[in-house]
Amino acid sequence: MKLVIGNKNYSSWSMRPWLLLRHAGIAFDEVKLSFNSPTFKRDALAFGPTGKVPVLVDDGVTVWDTLAIAEYVAEKFPDKQLWPRDAKQRAEARAICAEMHAGFPALRTHLSMNVTANLAGLGWNVAVQDDIDRISAIWTGLRARHRADGPFLFGRFCIADAYYAPVVTRFNTYKPKLAPALDEYMHTMLDLPEMKEWLAAAVQENDFVAHDEPYRRAPN
């Protein structure tokens, strides 16, 4: 199984399936393409029809959309229980993934992923706050209901956590004011060994766009 991704510093869509596969212990070969390369589009088109990442290539199948990748992997590895086992919870998990997939345009535009930068206080506007408030409501409600089952949105780690992982890193980069109740979930996600692996690799890749440089955080 091959997962084609973009820069670990910038590619929120790539982070989701990468984290999902790693956390589940599913082996894959990583192929990383640089957004800063003049051949990015051509390189990406060699793997999938949209010229975007991520793309999963497995056993003669090409899957080029994050939600489709998550579903494909969940079907291929049912024992990994990548969606919640309970049908009602599964429906809700799918709904919040779809909401992330299609929504939160202000957050995505103004707090774009940049995991190694410190952009505290930047990017905020009223529309961004509306997105933050909606995400806060999702996380707070799920954590309150599933606290007894574990530290993730539905208790156990599932596709929904992978889906919201780049929001966790965005909040860590832009540091908007969040309800204290969300700190615990932020820490749970940032402390995941796979998340740490991704963040460390983002520092190492040293492939930043020039206007980002003044904001680079010192490596931990």
CB 101 within 8 A of CB 71: no
Q: Which residues pair with 57 in a beta bridge?
A: 2, 62
Integer Cα distance of 9 and 133 in angstroms: 25
Among 9, 11, 89, 116, binds ligand GSH (CB under 6 A): 11
Q: Does 115 bind ligand GSH (CB under 6 A)?
A: no
**In this chain, which stretch among 6-14, 127-135, 172-180, 185-193 interacts with ligand GSH, using CB under 6 A?**
6-14
Q: Does 9 bind ligand GSH (CB under 6 A)?
A: no
Tokens at 138, concatenated: 């999702």
Among 8, 52, 94, 143, binds ligand GSH (CB under 6 A): 52
Binding mask 58-87 for ligand GSH (x = CB under 6 A): -------xx---------------------
CB 122 within 8 A of CB 57: no
Looking at the Cβ atoms of 14 and 188, the one nearer to ligand GSH is 14
Q: Does 6 bind ligand GSH (CB under 6 A)?
A: yes
Question: Which residue, among 187, 105, 175, 102, has the nearest Cα to 139 in the 3D structure?
Answer: 187
DSSP-derived letter for residue 219 is: P
Among 3, 4, 9, 13, binds ligand GSH (CB under 6 A): 13
* φ, ψ for residue 29, nearest 5 deg: -95, 130
Give residues in contact with ligand GSH (CB under 6 A). Answer: 6, 11-14, 41, 51-54, 65-66
